[in-house]
A = this chain, B = another copy of it.
Amino acid sequence: MSEIRIAILGASGYTGAELIRLLRNHPQARLVALTADRSAGKPIGSVFPQLAPFGLPDLVAIADVDWSGVDFVFCALPHGTTQAVIAGLPSHLKIVDLSADFRLDNLDTYAEWYGHAHQAPGLQTEAVYGLTEIHRDAVQKARLVANPGCFPTSALLPLVPLIEAAQIEVDDIIIDAKTGTSGAGRSLKEGSLYCEVTEGVHAYGVASHRHAPEIEQDLSRSAGRSVLVNFTPHLMPMSRGMASSIYVKLRPGVSAEDLKATLIGRYRDEPFISILSGKDVPQTRHVRGTNRCHINVIADRLPGRAIILSVIDNLVKGASGQAIQNMNAMYGLPETTGLDLVAIFP
């Protein structure tokens, strides 16, 4: 097919840079506009020196983009400001939004967790939740895709099939998640300083992280009723990577092997998902820089329980990579286009 002319809104953040890194290897992608309002007029190399050598367009303000030459938009702007920006874009554009703005279907839930009424409720109705392997059919037909959060991606990929198969209890799901620091973005916060992150670990957002309702939304869809989860994120001394250790109670008569068989069956033809063999443990370093998700299920020492281990790269499958996967799906391209990558290790 012919090329897709792409604009990235918010190109000066980590997910923006990651989109650029990945799209350069995408044969149909042509980057025509990169925006960063505060750095408008500067070369992209001024904010990301690693991108200087590649002949990319200079940064511009969103207001200065000529939309007539754009087919597709990746929106990597901060939560809250995104909805107004997208509401103002021409309707011929297809869009994948990497913010949280269009992820929650229920406007009340959005208002409760984000502290203000949604600014574009009509678009919210139109938006499709872009967990590609789960909502592929809807994504393929969508004009506006809400790209999932990193934590929800790592948790939902194993959990949704198991709930659909009625193999686990839905009222007893505990998600202990560990994330690299790039998930906090490039903004200046004391807690993101090298000296505050290296050589230590801590939980944060305990029982109050905004990805909880996002996880619960898709689990509730699968279960056919309202589901709550324990979701406890931890900040790791690493840039990239996300590991979710999920503790579940098995429904009567179900074994850990049954869970594994369900996942193997469900993801057999998925190019980005591996269900590991035996008791092999997924490691974040084995998916670093890739759009892959590695999963395994191991029987718990507690009778009637199982442990699900799921790892992704939070910036790729948890953000920019899945966004490109969604773009590919929206255009009918093979989803691996531009994403057929081997992890960078060590």
Seen from chain A, the residues whose Cβ lies within 8 Å of a Cβ on chain B are 14, 17, 20-21, 24-25, 48-54, 171-172, 174, 176, 178, 180-182, 186, 188-190, 192-204, 206-208, 212, 228-232, 234, 236-241, 243, 245, 247, 274, 276, 279-289, 292, 298-303, 305, 307, 309, 311, 340-346
Contacts and interface: CB of A to CB of B under 8 A. Distances in A.
A245 B298 contact: no
Contacts of A345: 17, 21, 48, 50
A301 B230 contact: yes
Nearest first, the 9 closest Cβ-Cβ pairs linking A and B are: A200-B285, A195-B346, A202-B283, A50-B343, A50-B286, A188-B188, A194-B197, A176-B176, A21-B342
Contacts of A284: 200-202
Given A176-B176, A194-B239, A237-B237, 6 more contacts: A21-B344, A50-B285, A50-B286, A182-B195, A200-B285, A203-B282
A213 to B, nearest CB: 10
A201 B241 contact: yes
A245 B274 contact: no
26 contacts: A21-B345, A24-B340, A24-B342, A25-B25, A48-B345, A49-B276, A49-B283, A52-B274, A172-B302, A174-B302, A176-B245, A178-B201, A181-B194, A182-B195, A188-B190, A195-B346, A198-B238, A199-B285, A202-B243, A203-B309, A207-B301, A228-B302, A230-B305, A234-B245, A240-B346, A247-B247
A229 B245 CA distance: 15
A207 B300 contact: yes
B50 A207 contact: no
Contacts of A299: 207
B236 A236 contact: yes
A284 B174 CA distance: 22
Q: Which of A49, A186, A240, A287 has the most CB of B within 10 A?
A: A49
A232 B203 contact: no
A51 B193 contact: no
A342 B54 contact: yes
A269 to B, nearest CB: 13
B344 A203 contact: no
Contacts of A197: 194
B50 A182 contact: no
A318 to B, nearest CB: 14
Contact of A229 (B189, B212, B230, B302): B302
Contacts of A247: 174, 176, 230, 232, 247
A199 B240 contact: yes
A302 B232 CA distance: 12
Contacts of A20: 342
Contacts of A189: 188
A207 B48 contact: no
